[in-house]
Structure 1
Amino acid sequence: MIKIHTCLVAIATLFSVSHTSFAQTEPDLGAASAFSLFTAVGGVTNQGTTVVTGDVGTGAGAFNGFPPGIIVGETHIADDIAGQAATDVTSAYADLLANPCGSVVLSTSMGNGQELTPGVYCLGAATTITGNLILNGLEDPNAVFIFKIDGALSTADLSSVLLINGTSLNHVYWQINGQFDIGANAIFRGTAITNGAINLLESASLFGRGLSIAGAINLQSNIVVNTPGALPVTLTKFLVKKDEGRSALIAWATTEEANSDRFEIERSMDGRAWQLVASLNAKGESKVLAEYVYTDKMPEAGINLYRLKMIDQDNSFAYSTIRSIEFEAGLRAALYPNPVVNQLTLDTDNNGGIDRLQLINMNGKIVYEQVRSDSSKLLTSFDVSFLSPGLYVGRITGKGGTRYQKILKVN
C-alpha cells in the first residue's frame, strides 16, 4: 500500500514539474513599461501626424519629427530614465528568449483567420502575418501569449492581430530577432521587443509597445497606444477624414452596446487640453452593427486630435484611441474700399500664400486677373477705374483655400 501511495505521489509530482516547465514566464519590463516606443540604440524619426500615447525615447540616437507628431506622455533622450530602460529592455528580451517552446508548430506564414490559444510559439525564421490573426484567451484574463521569432516579422497592409475572449493586451509578447514592420493601415497588438529596426508604415496602428534593443524606429502618421482601456461598447471603426469645405467628418461603428448612454466627441490641439465638440445619443442596447457620423464644421488650423468618450448610463466611461487630421490655416484676405471708385486694395497678412486674384462680372466673365509667379507677389493696390459701375465678385485663391467677396463699383 505504501509503494502504491509513493508511486502516485511521484506521478503527481512529475505532472506538476512538467506543467511548470512549460509555463510562460512574462518579462519584467521595468523602466520600459511606461514607454510606447523605445530603442536602446537607434534614432526615432516621424513623418506626418503620428499620435503616441505613452512615453517615447532612445538610449542613444537622434530624435526627429515631434512636432508635427504629438506625444501624450514624456520624452526621454539619452537621460537616466532612458539608460535604465535600455538595460531593462535588454533583460526583457532575454527573459522572453528563455521561455521553452510549446508543442504547437506554426508556419512562418500566419493569419488569414488563424486562431491560437495561450502558449509559447516558436518560429524558426522570418515570419509574416496576413489578414486576421486571432488570439483567443479562453475567458482567462491572465492568459499569456509569447511568440519567439528567430528572424524578422512583417505584417501585410490592412492586416490585424485580434484579441478575443478575455485576452489582455498586457499579456501578449513578441520577441523578434530582426526587423519589425507593420504594414500600411494594419493593426498590431502586444508588446514587441526586437533586435532590429521598428517601422510603422503609413497609418498603421500599434496597441501595445514597440521596444528595440538595437535599431531605429520610423513612423508615418501612426497611432500608438500602450495601455488602451476596456471599452463599454464594442467599437469596430473610428475614423476622421476631411469633408466638403473645411470640415472634419467623424465616423464610428459598434457591433454591441450594453447599457450605453451617449458618445461625446472631443477635440484637442496638443493632446492634453480637450474640448467638447458634440454629444450623440447611443443605441443603449444593441447587438447589431450601428453606425454614427458627425461633421465638425469648425476645426482649428493645424493638427486636430479627436477622441470619443463613451459613457454608460451609470456615468462610467472610457476613451477611444485618438485620431488626427491636419488643416492648413484659412486664407485671410479682403478687398477694400467697398464700394470702390478707382483704386482697390488687397489686404492680407500672407501675400506669398495667394496664387490668384480675379474680378468677375455678373455675366461670369473675368474682367481683371492677377496670377502670382514663382518670383513675385500680387499687387496689393490696383486700378479699377476702367470698370463699368455695377456689382462684381472678387475671387482670391491661395494655399488656405478660396475666398469670395462682392464688390460694388461706383463712379
Structure 2
Amino acid sequence: MTRTFKNTVLSLLIFFGTLSNTFAQNDADPAITSFGFGAASVPVGGTTTLSLFFLNNGDFQSLVPGSIAILVSLTNAGEYTAEPESGLAVVSGLPANYFTWTYNPATKALRGVLNTAITPGDGGQIDIVVKGVAVGSNTSTVNIQRLQPANLTGDFVGNNTLPPALLAVTPSLPVTLISFNAQKENSGVNLTWVTTEEVNSDYFEVQHSVNGKSWSVLGKVESHKDSKVTNNYTYSDANPGEGMNYYRLNMVDRDATHAYSRIRSVDLEGKSETNAVFPNPAATFISIDGQEGKEVKIFDVNGVLKTSSKVQDGQISINNLRNGLHLIQMTNSANQVVTKKFVVLK
C-alpha cells in the first residue's frame, strides 16, 4: 500500500468521523426558547400566566420518554403561588401533555418529566397560572434537567436555561369584579356587571371603542363604596355604532387609583360576535370572545404552526410571535373551524 493511498484512507476516516460527530451533536436538542409572565404585575388575589416555549431543536432524533424534565421554580418568599396549588390543574397548553407534572407547595416548584417521544421540531407553548398572594417583587426560573444521559446523545449545551422572569405583586384592587357582559338589546347595547367586594371604591367609568384601541367615556356609575355583598350594575348604550362595538369598565378608587375590566364586544349587524379577536394589531396578548377554556392554534402566513394555547380569562399570550400577519384557528359554537387574521406589532 503506497503512502499516498494510506494518507487518502486516513483523510476519509477523519472526514467521516467528523461528519458522524456533527450529526450526533444535532440528534436531539431539548430547548426552552422563551420564558416570561403574561403581565409585569398582578394584584394580590389576581392571576396571570407564566409561559415557556419548549421544543426539540434537533435534526434527527426524537426525545425519548424519561430522558429529560422541565423544572420551573417559583418564588420561595410567598408573594405568589401556583393557582390552584396542583401541578395537574395549573399547567396547560398542548406540549404540557408531553410531560407528567408534579408541584411541591413547600418549594413552589413545578417539575414535568417527559412521558412521550418528541420528534425534531415538535413543541409549543406551556402555560402556568400563578396567583398573587402578598405584595412584593419576585422572580421565577426554568431549566431542563437531563435524567438519562444514555437516552439523550445529542447537543445539550445552550438555550436550556433562560434569565429569570420578573413579576411584581401589587396591592389588591378596590373592586372584585366577577362578571362583565355586553348584549345587544333592540337597537342598543345593555351592559351588566357584578361585584362581590368593594373597598374604598368610588365609581365605574363606562368606556366605548370602535376598534379596541381608542376609547371614549360613555358615562359614570356610582359604586357602593365599601361592600362585602354581591352588587349588580347595569348601563345602557342607546346609540352604539354600526358593526363592532367594544366596551370596558374603568374601576376608579377614592384615591384615584384605577383598573380596567376585560373588554367585551357586540356586533350591531345582527348578533353578538362570538369569535372576535382584539386588539388588532396586538403586541403582547389578544382577547378572543367565545373561546374560554378552548385550544386555539396560531399559524404564520405560510401555514406553519407557531403556537397552540388554551384561552384563559378570554386571552392568550403572543409574546413569542414576531411582527407580521398571523392566522388564528378556532372552533365556533357549531363546532365549525373558524380562521381569523390579526397583526403582531411590537
TM-score bracket, normalised by the shorter chain, equals 0.3 to 0.5
- TM-score, length-scaled by structure 2: 0.37
- TM-score, length-scaled by structure 1: 0.32
**Rg larger for:** 1
